[in-house]
Amino acid sequence: MNVDRQHQGRAAHEARDPSYGNAAGPPSGGGYRCSMTDSSRSLSESAYARLTHLITRCVLSPGEWVTEKQLAEMTGLGLGPVRTAMARLRHDGLLIAVPRVGYRVSPITIDDVTDLFDTWAIVAPAIVDLAFKRATDQQIDEFEAKVRELARRVQDGQEWEHEMGDLAFGLLVGMTRSRRLADIYERLHIDVARCFRVAAVQGTKLTGVTGAPEEIVAMMRRRNHEEAVSRACALVESTRELVLGVLHSSPGIADAELRFPVRPA
């Protein structure tokens, strides 16, 4: 996989650690249900959450071919739970089964990016606007504490900066107290996170667009939702341009898929 060794090792550890995750949590799987015992359900849920996490962080890169055995080894779980999780991932559109060939992590194409960011350009500002209007003082305090902690981890090299965007939007969705908006975000979350990851690998500083964590918190306390919405729009467009730039630099643009690049030294 085309990821730096330090990141790959950290992500592999997280795949086996049930305490991993972000504020928003993994998607619910679009209502997919299956019949199983409590024990097997617990294992399959763990497998699903861990594999979703690996796809979100691009440890399993867009377009990468995988096997059941490989995923079982990565998660530290048996083939049974992994197969059940893979069925859910196919249902979610995150994994593609190719008959007599194998499984492939869903690629990201130019059409995917265009459609995703056209939608995200509507949803992201709406999340920010409603969150800034509805957030309680306690929620703002919690937001500040979590973002500051993650900022410290980014500075120490324990996390990548793109995690800031992923965490922030997960927390902001909760502040909106809107179930419908949360459902929409849940459907977009993984592909948006994968694009944030590409932006981070290319060396893009997201805080250069959004502002430092303390600036965001200060805007929240002032309820300055107009400035926050403006920055959210700028973040969407800057990320769109960067990801499309990666795709357009690929040979055969019409069929180009996003390949996860090696992180610059």
The set of residues, in sequence order, having a beta carbon less than 8 Å from that of 214 and lying 6+ positions away, is: none
Pairing state between β 102-105 and 65-66: antiparallel
**pLDDT tens per residue, range 157-185:** 767 666 777 788 889 999 999 999 999 99
Let me know if residue 261 belongs to a domain: no
Structure tokens given for 45: 């849920």
User: 43 and 127: one domain?
Assistant: no
The residue to which tokens 């700028």 are assigned? 234
User: Which among 105, 124, 140 is the end of a domain?
Assistant: 105
User: 11 and 124: one domain?
Assistant: no
Predicted confidence at residue 36, as pLDDT, reads: 43
User: 128 and 89: one domain?
Assistant: no
Let me know if residue 260 belongs to a domain: no
Let me know if residue 164 belongs to a domain: yes
User: 115 and 233: one domain?
Assistant: yes
Print the domain residue range for 66. Answer: 5-105
Q: Residue 171: which CATH number?
A: 1.20.120.530
The set of residues, in sequence order, having a beta carbon less than 8 Å from that of 257 and lying 6+ positions away, is: 62, 63, 107, 108, 109, 247, 250
User: 75 and 114: one domain?
Assistant: no
Give the whole-angstrom CA distance, residue 84 versus residue 87: 5
User: Which among 105, 128, 148 is the end of a domain?
Assistant: 105
Predicted confidence at residue 41, as pLDDT, reads: 65
**Cross-strand pairs, 65:** 104
User: 130 and 175: one domain?
Assistant: yes
pLDDT at 207 over 70: no
Name the band, by pLDDT with cuts 50, 70 and 90, for residue 21. Answer: very low
Q: What is the mean pLDDT of residues 54-75?
A: 91
| Bigger pLDDT: 74 vs 263 | 74
Give the whole-angstrom CA distance, residue 49 versus residue 237: 29
User: 220 and 133: one domain?
Assistant: yes
Structure tokens given for 32: 């997919």
pTM for the structure as a whole: 0.70
User: 49 and 71: one domain?
Assistant: yes
User: 90 and 29: one domain?
Assistant: yes
User: 249 and 150: one domain?
Assistant: yes
User: 123 and 101: one domain?
Assistant: no
Query: Max Cα separation, the chain?
Result: 58
Closest CA to 127 of 180, 179, 181, 167: 181
**Of 2-6, 7-11, 170-174, which gets the smallest average pLDDT?**
2-6
Let me know if residue 264 belongs to a domain: no
Q: CA end-to-end span of the chain, whole Å? A: 16
If one counts the domains in the chain, the total is: 2
Let me know if residue 181 belongs to a domain: yes
Predicted confidence at residue 39, as pLDDT, reads: 53
Q: Are 105 and 64 in contact (CB under 8 A)?
A: yes
pLDDT at 205 over 80: no
Let me know if residue 238 belongs to a domain: yes
Closest CA to 50 of 14, 80, 86: 14
Q: Residue 9: which CATH number?
A: 1.10.10.10
User: Which among 50, 84, 105 is the end of a domain?
Assistant: 105
Half-sphere exposure of 76 (CA within 13 A, CB side): 10
User: 100 and 124: one domain?
Assistant: no
Pairing state between β 102-105 and 95-98: antiparallel
**pLDDT tens per residue, range 95-138:** 999 988 899 999 888 888 889 999 999 999 999 999 999 999 99
